[in-house]
Chains A and B, each alone.
Chain A
Amino acid sequence: MEVRYRITKPIRLEVNFRISGLTALLGRSGEGKTTTLKALAGLIPARGSPYGGLRPEARPIGYLPQHHALFPHMTALANVAFPLQNLPPKTRKARALALLERFGLGALAGARPSELSGGQRQRVALARALARNPELLLLDEPTASLDREAREDIGDFLASLAEEEKTRILVATHDPELAQSAHWVVVLEKNRVVQEGPPSEVFTRPASLNVARLVGFSNLFPGQVSGFQDGYLLVETVAGTLWVKSEPLAPGTPVTLGVRPEEVLIVRKDRPLRVALRHNVIAGTIRRLRLQGPYVKAEFSGPLELKILLPRHVQDRLKLSPGQAVEVTLKPAYLQLFSSESFSSLS
């Protein structure tokens, strides 16, 4: 489904993008994600397709605002039955109950929204939004009101929902983790689409430094191309010459290199490095270590400051401690090159 919308109020916004299966509309807050969803739902004046000119009640969509908007004076069952008004009362109730049961909420049919957890409320709202078999489901920041555990599951849940229901889901989010579970990612920046594609592409080859930051390249540093050898680009940096898997570029070109914290590798003295990894070894010390869920977040300080994310089992083996001297290596294929923008735009 191709979306083309032009909005002037409350903000000026012009967006063209594709929706395919579970599509993540990724962007920081205030970049127009909610506005785009509301325009598609017909809730703000906008021109475009699909559904341009139709009243919200006539659009084949389901809409879930950030806090789900369950009707607080109705039970979960009555909420789900609300959109089924055209059915006879008995069928209506049975269908609403079936929907609730599908989402594992049959036992809570009689509960009011205030008696449900964040995740349960979200599922009731999803059941309600799906009741009219919408062609497109719009979800605004579905991770915002969930606890950590539920947050981790929601991406996979929505992806399989899109597949099972054969429905399109557009989810506005600032959460790269959720976007990774999507079939298609659309990045919104400064009220326009700056990149779209499958997550494997957007997450590994972000189109700009801002997109790079948004999708998790938190280590970014400047360099200058010095040559091309054996299929690798040679880039001079404060940490010496780094080998980067890339097309050739003219020597002297200023570039920015980016690497994800989970893709910075710690060199193990007891294991020989493969050839490709031998070039990009940097020596330094571990400055800080912090536990973050199942990961250990480390700060590496050497010629470069790098953030490192290690699975806990790796730390259990390496037993890193603050102040310890280590060597890290940056795999040439994991180093992302940003040639179009200068380093000064980073600050």
Chain B
Amino acid sequence: MREALTLSFLLALSSTAVLLVVGGALAYSLRKPFPGKRIVESILLLPIALPPTVLGFYLLILLGPAGPIQKVIGVPLAFTFPGMLLGATLFSFPFAFTAFREAFLSLDEDLLETARTLGAGRLRIWREIILPLVWPGLLSGALLAFAHTLGEFGVVLMVGGNIPGKTQVASTYIYDLVENLEFKEANKASALMLVLAFSLIFLTRTLEERWRSVTASRNPSASR
């Protein structure tokens, strides 16, 4: 149990870190309109509608032996932690991205422009205006992605293969327990996951509310 849970945490933590950097950068750069924006966003949000098995299947082909990735880097990533990390990150991407996008979209462009006229350079604007205003949004997106990865089952099963001690995470561990009719142990593990999931979602909601109250005085600019 401990081993599987540790791996779940490690997986969720690493995918959240990747999502914060990649998803955050993408959300910031996609806040302004450009041609083809809707197509790019649709692709990024695709994992929401895709069955985890479909995503897992394509990843398996991509990362498996004789797959294109192996040809490039020399080793197959299927049934390894990096492979699982890639799958989990892709699968949780829409959740994090949507929250990040919301946070950056709510940034009033007037604030950033006015800050420049008050003598602030880009770095100072990021440090003193953008980050303080968007961090609750970023954090709530990160927590949501973390919780989502922690509960992920389909993709990690397909790409990781549920190898105990190597790629078995909490969700696939519980699946194994139920299959082997070990209900007592499954009950314990499930209860723990329930408490964890609730705490994370509760924290996310709390942050969202706090964030709304801070940005409430924001005014949209409509004139040109």
Contacts and interface: CB of A to CB of B under 8 A. Distances in A.
Contact of B111 (A55, A56, A59, A69): A69
Interface in A137-185: 140-141, 145
Contacts of A140: 223
Interface in B147-199: none
Interface residues of A, number: 42
Contacts of B42: none
B219 to A, nearest CB: 3
Interface stretch (B18-26, B33-41, B63-71, B116-124): B116-124
A82 B108 contact: no
A128 interface: yes
Given A71-B129, A73-B133, A128-B118, A34 B214 contact: no
B117 to A, nearest CB: 4
Given A34-B224, A85-B119, A85-B124, A72 B113 contact: no
A69 B117 CA distance: 11
Given A56-B113, A69-B114, A132 B217 contact: no
B223 A34 contact: yes
Given A11-B224, A29-B223, A114 B216 contact: yes
Interface in A19-68: 29-30, 32-35, 38, 41-43, 55-57, 59, 61-68
Interface in B194-224: 214-224
Given A11-B224, A72-B216, A114-B217, 9 more contacts: A33-B223, A35-B224, A64-B114, A67-B110, A69-B114, A71-B115, A82-B128, A141-B223, A145-B219
30 contacts: A11-B224, A41-B117, A43-B113, A43-B116, A43-B117, A57-B117, A57-B119, A63-B114, A65-B113, A67-B221, A69-B110, A69-B114, A71-B128, A71-B129, A72-B214, A72-B215, A72-B218, A73-B133, A73-B214, A82-B115, A82-B128, A83-B120, A85-B124, A114-B217, A128-B118, A129-B117, A129-B118, A140-B223, A141-B223, A145-B219
Interface of B: 108, 110-111, 113-121, 124, 128-129, 132-133, 214-224
Interface of A: 10-11, 29-30, 32-35, 38, 41-43, 55-57, 59, 61-73, 82-83, 85, 112-114, 128-129, 131-132, 140-141, 145
